[in-house]
């Protein structure tokens, strides 16, 4: 799993404050806007945070990217298995299913079971990748050869959205109920957000 910033609206917090003061034009260039941004967050004036955007690159598996793509307020561009050869897989640790909460798993499996799961992933990945490349050699199209690949296949996507969308995404996906592997991505993006939006992050208690 990797994340990195691709681009962000320049002087985002300053721009958001400038737009928030649209009805007070004489004060729009006021450099003191910390209290204003804090006020907007406290009183849930979320629309103003649509005035700036951020785009992040994410490397993960197809299983996790499917969860990320459900956030419809973002725009996405993902690696296409129709046009390019797949390269690698993600390897994951095994956890036990929580019987009381279907959205949760528990890290209490035996070392032996975890080792079995890791070796089995590697076996499946090796077999599927061999079959994938054999399919390409036989002239089978990439868009069909990919049917032989498991959900652990690596992918890369760009996720672009307004700061309002990012606030909602981080609040949701850094919280309980998010799959551990997805939560790790959200936490990594939160570090980017904190660096780029220090005033907002302080107000949001990130």
Half-sphere exposure (CA, 13 Å, Cβ side) for 137? 6
Active-site pick, 62, 146, 164, 173: 173
CA distance 190 to 173: 10
List C-alpha distances in Å: 78 to 21, 36, 56, 84, 124.
37, 37, 12, 12, 24
Residue 4, exposed/middle/buried by CB under 10 A (0-12, 13-18, 19+)? exposed
Tokens of 32: 């003191």
173 annotated active-site: yes
Tokens of 55: 């785009």
CA distance 169 to 32: 28
Tokens of 191: 């570090």
Query: Which residue bears the tokens 């006020």?
Result: 39
Enzyme catalytic residues: 173
């Amino acid at each position: 799993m990797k994340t990195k910033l691709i681009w962000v609206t320049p002087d985002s917090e300053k721009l958001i404050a400038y737009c928030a003061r649209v009805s007070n034009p004489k004060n729009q260039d006021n450099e003191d806007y910390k209290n204003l941004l804090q006020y907007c967050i406290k009183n849930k004036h979320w629309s103003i945070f649509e005035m700036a955007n951020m785009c992040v690159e994410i490397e993960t598996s197809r299983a996790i990217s499917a969860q990320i793509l459900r956030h419809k307020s973002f725009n996405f561009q993902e690696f296409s298995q129709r046009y390019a050869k797949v390269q690698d897989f993600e390897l994951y640790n095994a956890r036990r299913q929580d019987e009381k909460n279907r959205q949760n798993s528990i890290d209490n499996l035996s070392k032996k079971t975890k080792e079995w799961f890791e070796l089995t992933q590697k076996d499946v990945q090796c077999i599927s990748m061999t079959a994938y490349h054999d399919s390409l050699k036989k002239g089978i199209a990439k868009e069909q050869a990919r049917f032989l690949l498991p959900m652990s296949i690596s992918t890369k996507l760009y996720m672009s959205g307004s700061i309002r969308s990012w606030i909602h995404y981080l609040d949701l996906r850094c919280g309980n109920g998010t799959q551990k592997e997805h939560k790790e991505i959200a936490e990594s993006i939160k570090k980017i957000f904190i660096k780029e939006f220090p005033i907002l992050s302080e107000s949001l208690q990130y």
